[in-house]
Amino acid sequence: MTATSPAVPTGTIRTRDTTPRRRRRARLTARATILLTIMIGVLILSVAPARMYFEQQAELARFEREAAILERKNDALAARAQQLHDRGILERLARQCLGMVKKGEIAFVVVPKDGPPAPPPDC
């Protein structure tokens, strides 16, 4: 007895194909080859600009850190300059750092045995 199917007309015998099937290999068409070549070219050409972008970002971050450090130093120097406008501070520095005295005063300097005295830290 033979197997029949509703899709097969009556009277037709359906047999199994015994020939080995060849796997269909994916073909690389000309259009796919051109597209692949263009994509690889774009990828290769985009490496240099991307590398340059990341280098510039790192350099920008370094410059921003340096600018922040310089701003802090600038603020400290501005505060020091403002202090130097005070007559009391100027007189103290003149006495300590330069050894100056007012008229009529007598200055005494104690010199250590191991050499000249070190200046105060503010000088």
> Three-class SS of residue 88?
helix
pTM of the entire predicted model = 0.52
pLDDT at 8 over 60: no
The type of residue at 19 is: T
pLDDT at 116 over 80: no
Mean pLDDT highest for which of 3-12, 43-52, 59-68, 106-115? 59-68
Contacts with 101 (C-beta within 8 Å, 6 or more apart), sequence order:
95, 107
What are the tens digits of pLDDT across the range 23-81? 777 777 889 899 999 999 999 999 999 999 999 999 999 999 999 999 999 999 999 99
Q: Domain boundaries in the chain? A: 30-98
| DSSP at 120 | P
